Structure 1
Amino acid sequence: MPNKSLLVCAFFFLCCFAILQAQEEKNTAIKEPTIKSEVPKIIETDSIVEIRDPINPLAPAKAAFYSAILPGLGQAYNKKYWKIPIVWGAIGTGIYFYTSNNKEYHRYRDAYKSRLAGFTNDEFYYDGNGNKLTTPTVTDEGLERGQKFYRRNKEISLLVTLGLYALNIIDANVDAHLMQYNIDENLSLAPHYKINEFDASSSLGLTLNFNF
């Protein structure tokens, strides 16, 4: 009898131990999915990505308006200061040639009108020392050709100057547009990393963006 009692007690303790072990394994199995499903709420962003300034839709119009008021002012608004001497030099050269050709045109025209009125005292009747000549250095036909030549040249100079003035406005407007275009390579093709909130899995891929 004592041996049977010891066997029964040992069997009872073994059963209790097995039941407790099975219950602990069951609890552990239930808790594991809960731990895996936890997802960090804060994801650190890449510090290399640069935050750009907001786009100003009125910037191109302002730059063109400033250049129309004063050539080179639109380039200063776009902070392209190295373009200002180029703009002033180009327009200044056009103005110089127009003024020079206009002056020569009036010289020949005034002398021609004076001769038509019967006078012989225009500047072409005198030499470099101020002595009057019997025959002028420029004939009447030469005065006509000179008027046509310098009138054509001053008209061309005026057109070139106006073209350079318009080009100054266009350059400021286009430059202001291009300054706001984001041509960063990270925007056209960039890698992305995503975490699935349901099973805590992660995925890695590429993002391709098209801007129209």
Structure 2
Amino acid sequence: MFNKKFYILIIVISFSTINCFSQEDLLIKAQDTTVISPVEFDMLSPAKAAFYSAILPGLGQAYNKKYWKIPLVWGALGSGIYFYDLNSTNYNRARTAFKLKLDGKPNEFDGVDGNILLSEDALIRAQKSYKKDRDLSLLVTVALYVLQVLEASTNAHLLQHNVDNNLSLSPQIIQDAVSNKSVVVASLNFKF
């Protein structure tokens, strides 16, 4: 009996509201001190950077005034295109040699006149390997292209944020009092 009344009392107290008022005369109003002029904040800046980067790789990075990223973008995409072309050329060579070998005609892998001798099975394996490498090179190149478009858009978006000394992340090395060893820590500081 006592338990039932106790539980009902707990439920009633839980769902009841208690109005408490204290220090009504003290009102604090916060004011926003960050002022951004319309000239500094361009809503279309990330879209423009992504568009420019999609039209010509590296142009979005130039729009963001991050010129040092342009050779990295061109180098990454150029490497992907180079390996795609190399694997495609080797695939076509192995495929042509395989077709000529099936027809009984001389090819570059027939072992005549100092050429390398490759069997039909070796030519089939070479075709599969070069085709797989060619497709992987294409996939990596497309991924790098999309990544540089996303990087340009993200960078343009992050350039619009106000980052100053009021928000800082500083790594420090401190002495641990318990183990007496040096420990690397990071402190995040907010200054209002």
Shared fold, TM over 0.5:
yes
Match of 1:159 in 2: 139
Structure 2 unaligned residues grouped into runs of 5+:
1-33, 168-190
Secondary structure at the aligned position of 2:134 is classed as: helix
Structure 1 counterpart of 2:110, which letter? Answer: Y
Indicate which of 104, 113, 117 corresponds to 1:137.
Answer: 117
Match of 2:177 in 1: none
Quote the Cα distance in structure 2 between the aligned partners of 1:71 and 1:63: 11
Whichever residue aligns with residue 96 of structure 1, its letter is: Y
Q: Secondary structure at the match of 1:125?
A: coil
Residues 1:171 and 1:141: Cα distance change in structure 2 (over 3 Å): same
Q: Whole-Å Cα distance in 2 between the matches of residues 108 and 141 of structure 1? A: 11
| 1:120 aligned to which of 105, 109, 123 | 105
RMSD: 2.6
What's 1:17 paired with?
none
- Structure showing greater radius of gyration is 1
Count of residue pairs brought into register by the alignment: 136
Higher relative contact order (CA 8 A, sep 6+): 1
TM-score by length of 1: 0.59
State percent identity of aligned pairs: 51
Question: 2:58 is matched by which residue type in structure 1?
Answer: G
Residues 1-212 of structure 1 mapped to structure 2, 5 A cutoff = 53-116=39-102, 118-126=103-111, 131=113, 137-185=117-165, 208=192
The amino acid across from 1:137 in the alignment is L
Q: Distance in 1 between matches of 2:157 and 2:114?
A: 64
Shift, 1:113, TM fit: 1.3
CA contact (8 A) 1:67 1:172 kept: yes
The separation in 2 between residues aligned to 1:85 and 1:181, in whole angstroms, is 26
- Distance in 1 between residues matched to 2:126 and 2:56, nearest whole Å: 34
Gaps of 5+ in 1: 1-48, 188-206
Deviations 1:133-167 (Å, cap 9, x if unpaired)? Answer: 7xx61100000000000000000000000010001
Counterpart Cα distance in 1 of 2:59 and 2:122: 44
- Structure with the higher helix share, 1 or 2: 1
Q: Secondary structure at the match of 2:57?
A: coil
2:157 is aligned with what amino acid? H
Whole-Å separation in 2 of the counterparts to 1:108 and 1:87: 32
Structure-2 separation of matches of 1:174 and 1:58: 12
TM-score, normalised to structure 2's length?
0.64
Pairwise CA distance, 1:111: 0.9
